[in-house]
Structures are given as structure tokens and as C-alpha cells.
Structure 1
Amino acid sequence: MPATTVSGFNSKSHDARITGLKGTNSARCKSITKNMIAKDTLGNTFEVPDFTIKDILSAIPKKCYVRCWYRGMLYIFRDFCCCFLFGIVARDIIPLIPIKFIRGLAWVFYSFCVSLPYTGFWVMAHECGHQAFSPYGWLNDTTGWILHSYLLVPYFSWKYSHGKHHKATGHMSRDTVFVPATKKEFLQKRKVLHLSDIAVDTPLYTLYVILVQQLGGWIWYLLTNVTGQKYPNYSRFSVSHFNPNAPIFEKKDYWYIVLSDIGVLTQLFVLYNWIIYFGSFSVLVNWFLPYLFTNHWLVFITYLQHTDFSMPHYLDNEWTFSRGAAATIDRNFGFIGPFFFHDIIETHVLHHYCSRIPFYNARIGTAAIKKTMGNYYQHSNENMWKSLWKVSRYCEFVEGKNGVMMFRNHNGVGLKPEN
């Protein structure tokens, strides 16, 4: 199969990242190896899928592709109503709580509740970025720009980088987010941070990593492209999603990146006036804390969609679009996932095969592709909070000799890393 390329991507600099790993020298070969197997983190046999994207798409019913603009608008209106109702209840009940400390906790809980429909807004903007919201590009981009700007997300900037993620999911040198460290990179990072084996292996350090990731991971990704590809010749902030000249974009994207920045600046102006007219406490509980919780949900969701003990990553010579799309996992998040997060957790595998299918048709599409994928379809019913802890402990870096890279760790869990 011909190697897939992403327009505007400098593959030369990124292939250097994995120099020395077996398989890199054959990155331009025009065929992949069939019937490959590897050992996952826990020592289970992983069979590399060989089906094609045509096999998957032909299994999806045509009705799944139907996009209704009014239906998408109704979901946005529903999310807005949830915010409004939460606000009415909080306004009428929380001030009546006599104990100041408990009253403060109640306001935090209210902000937590508001973050759920806020994350729904984010997911709907995500639908817009994929053109799954409606058949009309202008409506998709206008709606997505407004929703994402409200949450300080540069809409077009993220849309373009996220699109490249979909084109190269699971590709070690071309994916744009949640690119795992190689063993060499993991050891180098430990050395830079002056961390001993004992320190890294402790649960306390894992907890620290989770907190940093969940509280600041999304903002840091937008600012510095952390967890994305490395650009050795660029400074940390020059690869920011707010920089129209960043190497993650193409020249033709320039003014769209500027428009994204204008959206974020407009929201900052809105917040300034919000404070002037309604006070800082109003912004704190109605926007800022929900914003932080929303950022947590985004990292929580996406990290666990692309990181698991059984999840492979590929060097260029063994990567195909269908293999990359299969290197994702569906999970369950109770009532919150389907209702507030619009099934983004439960139907993510399908989303990587065809991102223009609206979320309200994704359950039908998922059921259809499961029959074609068979055992290659990855799904987990494990509690997601438990999965977050286990994945953070078990999946520290990837390694492999045949072009299929599997997660390993230094915590003594599962297979030991190669010497």
C-alpha cells in the first residue's frame, strides 16, 4: 500500500525522531507485512489487523451519513438549557446554606455540573470541525468558532491539527497528539528531570503525573504542542496553536489561525466585561471553574481513547489508515457519556474511520463495523477512573522491533522492557 502523506508535513525532521529503531529505514516501502503479531503490555498476543478501509466503510449503513443541522442545533439548545437550569437551582438553593465551607463546596459542585454541558458544547464544536454537524460548511465553521471561542479554544487551529491526527492516528512520526515516548525518550526525560528509578516507580509520582496532565495538559498542548510531534529547530512556544506561523500549519491556514485568535481574544473581552458588570465571583463559578473542569474532561476522554495496554502504534513501514483507526478504543462512562458528552467516548473507533458521521448516528455505525472488525474492535467496560490510574502506571513508553510498537513500563507490570 502506498505510504500516506499529510500535506505540509516535514517528514524528514520527524523520521529523525525514531532513528535507530528497526523499521525506520524501510519507511518508504510500498507494502505492509501481513499476519503480524506482537505482545501487548500484559503479555497477550496482539494480532495486527489486515482489513482495508473499504471493508469498514462498506459495512456502514448509508443512513448513518445523514447530517441534520436542526438536530445538531437542538442538542446545543439542550446543553444550554442544562446550564440554565443548573444556574437557577444554584442561585436559589446554595445561598441558603448556612455553613460557609459547605456553601463553598456547593458552588464548586455547581461548577462541576456546569462543566458537563460545557464539554457537550466542546464536543458539538468538534462535530463542526469534522463537518459532521450539518451539510453546510459555513454553518459548521460559524457554530464551531463560536462554541470553541467561548471555551478559549482556537477553532480553526485545532481543526487543522486535529484533522492531521485523524489522517495519521497511531503513526509514530506523523500523528499530532498523544504520541507516546520511545524508551530512549522516556529515559532521557527522566535524566533531565533528575528522577531516579525509585521515584518514577512510586504511585505518588504517577498521581503527580495524572494531576499535571488533567489540570494543565490541554492548555499546555495548545500553547506548546506537548504530546505532539517534536520540532527540534523551533522553540517551545513557536509551535503554539495560537501562532499562525507554527510548523503544525500550512501557509494557506494563516488567516484562519488569525481568525481563531480573534475568537479567543473576543471571549477574553467578554470575560472582562462579565467581571465589570457581574463581578469576579460570577465568572469564577459560572465560567472559570467549569472551564478548568472541561479541560480535565477533554484530556480524560482523549487520553483514554488513545492509550491502553492493548493499544499499538506503528512505524511508517507498517502503518496504514485502517490499522491506525483501529488503534483506538471505545469505553463506557455511564449516563454522562451518552447524554452530556454526546457518545464521544462510546463510539470513538467508528469516528476514526469516518469522522463525518454525526454522533447521533454513531451507535448504529459502531454496531455495523464491529461485525467487520471482529476481535480487532477494542472496547472496555472498566470504570474509566480505574482505567486512568492503570494506564498511567502501565503505559509509560513504547518499543518494538518489527514496526509495531507496544506499551511497556518500568513499574514491573506485565512484560519487562527489552534491554
Structure 2
Amino acid sequence: MAPPNTEELQSELTHRQSSTKSPIKFERDYLPPNFTIKELRQAIPPHCFERDTLKSFGYTFKDLAIVGALAYAATFIDSHLPLALRYVAWPTYWFFCGAFATGIWVIAHECGHQAFSPSKKINNTVGFILHSALLVPYHSWRISHSKHHKHTGHVNKDQVFVPKTRSSLGLPSKDVDTQQMNHSVLEDTPFITLINLIGQQLFGWPLYLIFNSSGQVYDNRWTNHFNPNSPIFDPKNFNDVIISDIGIIIGLSIIFYFSYIYSFIAVLKYYLIPYLVVNHWLVLITYLQHTDPELPHYREDQWNFIRGAVCTVDRHIGFLDSIFHRITSTHVAHHLFSTMPHYHAEEATIHIKKVLGHYYIFDDTPIFKALWRSFVSCKFIEDEGDIIFYKN
């Protein structure tokens, strides 16, 4: 991301600091954007905001048909292929089934944003069915995810991949750590780092749902997505959380039923391993969208919705972009206008980029290289400062 003009930066910083009671603390002398939502919306053709229920169902049925066809084809692997080819066929099934199931996950997530259809009833019905089938508590996550969208990049109010502070990791204070001494508490061998990264990719999602891992810290309270009294939720959300829990119970009951009828190994091969693949892609996508050395984070006095929304990185993942309905390469547009359907987001991104200029962040680093870079580089932020960046 290109830096702003130096004279403009110095003038703006001087103006801001002279107009406040205490100096604003900007790391890297970063000048935050000051666009309005009206400016950005006016740059996008009006049809990009139109939701087409039939078109959305078309994408849904296509993904479901492909997953069904893959599962049916997999029934022939053990009975028709020699042993050597089975070791190729099963991973191929797991990869593509997990990928297209991730596409279904994206559509269900879109339902939670009311972007699938103009009808709230259709949105919530489709989202509840699809997410429950993928063991996601639809309404519970819809609510916490909405709070994430409303407070993206806010150190104290964002809901997922919230950066840890220096003090929470037990690191020496910034005044003592003047030479960025080696932080032994954060250092692991590359092998241990890889194991931790794999653990995040496979189990980070259920750990977030159950234990609020990487989420906002609520003192002395067990925070999760299944307890209607969890601090994530308001009293008005009680029934929605219970309904979400019922959806998960139904999903798990079906899994146990098929495990009893066909065996656990069969369920493992046809459903559970693709489910872990979905977890991997889900965590990778969301982690890299909001965790990067170039992304600022804001504290209360400097945060606003636009600044938070553009704290997002767009990326390409090759042919998987289309399978994932381009949630990876149009996420800035999605954060600015979350009710916009995915099939308009690519066109909208073209127009948004013209307004955002250098504030639009696109990173074409190979995806797994970017994952490793963020995992080892984005360890903590400072306890003080109004606009801060990750450090390691």
C-alpha cells in the first residue's frame, strides 16, 4: 500500500493533534482514511445492490449438486479402484468436497447478512438449514459476525482475530523493550510453529465457537456461541441462540445416526474430513482478511466504520476464488456493503478501488506464504496508541 503524500500527512497530523486535548499516537505515521459511506456507495452502480432470490438459489443448488455428485462418486472408490488409486481418489474427494462445501458455507453466511434474498424469512430459513448442516449455529454466529462487521479493526469491540496486547502476553513494557529484544515467550522452532498453525487451521473454528478463542476478551465469563447468556448476546437474542443450538443438535444427531448405520469410518471419510477442510478454508480466509502486518488497528478515539471496514485485505486463491464465490477477492466490498450479493461484489470492487486509492489493499502473495508470514509476524500490538500495527 503506497504511503500518502508527506506534506499532506504532516499537515493532517498537525491539524489533528492541535485540535485534541492530548496528542494522537500514530504508529508508522499512518494517516487514516476519511471517506464517507455516501461517497463509496455513489461510486457503485445501483444494480450491484439488488438481491435476486432465484439467482441466489441457482448458486446454492449448483454447489449442493456438485457436493452430492462428489459424494456419490466416492461410493465407488473402495469397491472399484485398486488400493493404490484409492490413496489418490479419497484426498481428491476430500479436497473438492471441502472446497464446494466452503462455497455453501459462504452462501449461508450471506443469508446471515440478508444478502441472499430481499425476504428475511427466506434468508433465515436457507441460512439455518445450510449452516446447521455444516455444524454452524446459524443465528448465534450471525449475531456475533454482525458485531464483527460493525466494529472491524476496533481493538476493544471487534469479535474475531482480536490482536493480543503486549501486556497480555507478559512481554516487557515498550519503554524497556526499546531495541525490540528477542521475545522468547513468542518464539518457537519452525516445526512447533507449523504444528500450531495446523492446529489453528483445522480446529480454530470450533474452538472459537466453543471457547471464543481469538475473540474479544470478557473478564471472568465463559464466552461461547451456544449459551444464550453469553456476553456476546443481548437478552433479545435468547430464542435465536436456542434455535441455533437445536439446529446443531439435529446435525449431530444425523451424524451419530449414520455412524451407527454405516460405521464411524464411513462418516469420517464422507463428511468429517471434508468438514475439517471447510474449517481450514474458513479460518484461512477470515484470518488473512484481517491479520496482516500492513493492516492498522484502531482504538476508540480514532475508529469509525469506514476505517474499520477497509482494514481488510483482498486476495486471490486461484481457481478456488470462483468456488468460494469470490469472498476472498471482494472482501473489502463485502465489509463496506454486507447486504450486497456476492455475484455483484466483483463489479463493485472495481468502482470502490477508484475511490479508495492506496487505501484499498490487495495482496497477491501466494496464499500459504501469506499465511505463514502473518502467523509468525502478527503476534501482538502495543497497549497504548490510537492507531497501531502488529509486531512480533
Task: Compute the TM-score of the two structures, normalised by the length of structure 1.
Answer: 0.82
Aligned-pair CA distance for 1:212: 1.7
For 2:53, the equivalent position in structure 1 comes to: 69
Aligned-pair CA distance for 1:271: 1.4
Is the CA contact (8 Å cut-off) linking 1:36 and 1:47 kept in structure 2?
no
Is the CA contact (8 Å cut-off) linking 2:291 and 2:374 kept in structure 1?
yes
For 1:81, the equivalent position in structure 2 comes to: 65
Cα distance between partner residues in 1 of 2:124 and 2:275: 22
Cα distance between partner residues in 2 of 1:46 and 1:94: 58
Counterpart residue identity of residue 222, structure 1: L
Report the number of matched residues: 365
Is the CA contact (8 Å cut-off) linking 2:26 and 2:385 kept in structure 1?
no
Instruction: Pick one of 324, 329, 333 that aligns with 2:313.
Output: 329
Question: Per the alignment, do residues 382 and 201 of structure 1 end up closer, same or farther by CA in structure 2, a change over 3 Å counting?
Answer: same
Aligned-pair CA distance for 1:401: 5.0
Question: Per the alignment, do residues 243 and 97 of structure 1 end up closer, same or farther by CA in structure 2, a change over 3 Å counting?
Answer: same
Query: Are residue 210 (structure 1) and residue 197 (structure 2) matched?
Result: yes
For 1:197, the equivalent position in structure 2 comes to: 184
Instruction: Pick one of 27, 36, 56 that aligns with 1:38.
Output: 27
Identity of aligned residues (%): 42
Aligned ranges 1:74-153 → 2 under 5 Å: 74-99=58-83, 103-104=86-87, 106-153=89-136
Query: Are residue 232 (structure 1) and residue 216 (structure 2) matched?
Result: no
Q: Deviations over 1:281-304 (max 9, x none)?
A: 331122111111111111010000
Counterpart residue identity of residue 184, structure 2: D
Question: Per the alignment, do residues 319 and 89 of structure 1 end up closer, same or farther by CA in structure 2, a change over 3 Å counting?
Answer: same
Aligned-pair CA distance for 1:146: 0.3
Cα distance between partner residues in 2 of 1:299 and 1:228: 13
Q: Deviations over 1:107-151 (max 9, x none)?
A: 233122211111111101100000000000000000000000001
Aligned-pair CA distance for 1:83: 1.2
Question: Per the alignment, do residues 49 and 31 of structure 1 end up closer, same or farther by CA in structure 2, a change over 3 Å counting?
Answer: farther
Q: Deviations over 1:68-118 (max 9, x none)?
A: 111111111111121122234333355333236x52453233122211111
Question: Per the alignment, do residues 88 and 270 of structure 1 end up closer, same or farther by CA in structure 2, a change over 3 Å counting?
Answer: closer
Aligned ranges 1:169-208 → 2 under 5 Å: 169-187=152-170, 197=184, 200-208=187-195
- Which secondary structure state, in structure 1, belongs to the residue aligned with residue 196 of structure 2? helix
Aligned-pair CA distance for 1:34: 12
Counterpart residue identity of residue 130, structure 1: H
Q: Which runs of 4+ in 1 moved over 6 A?
A: 30-36
Cα distance between partner residues in 1 of 2:293 and 2:336: 21
Q: Deviations over 1:215-254 (max 9, x none)?
A: 11000000011111111121xxx31101111010000000
Question: Per the alignment, do residues 178 and 105 of structure 1 end up closer, same or farther by CA in structure 2, a change over 3 Å counting?
Answer: same
Question: Per the alignment, do residues 32 and 391 of structure 1 end up closer, same or farther by CA in structure 2, a change over 3 Å counting?
Answer: farther
What's the RMSD between the two structures over aligned residues? 2.4
For 1:221, the equivalent position in structure 2 comes to: 208
For 1:367, the equivalent position in structure 2 comes to: 350
For 2:16, the equivalent position in structure 1 comes to: none
Question: Per the alignment, do residues 32 and 278 of structure 1 end up closer, same or farther by CA in structure 2, a change over 3 Å counting?
Answer: farther
- Which secondary structure state, in structure 2, belongs to the residue aligned with residue 298 of structure 1? helix
Cα distance between partner residues in 1 of 2:23 and 2:106: 36
Cα distance between partner residues in 2 of 1:35 and 1:63: 40
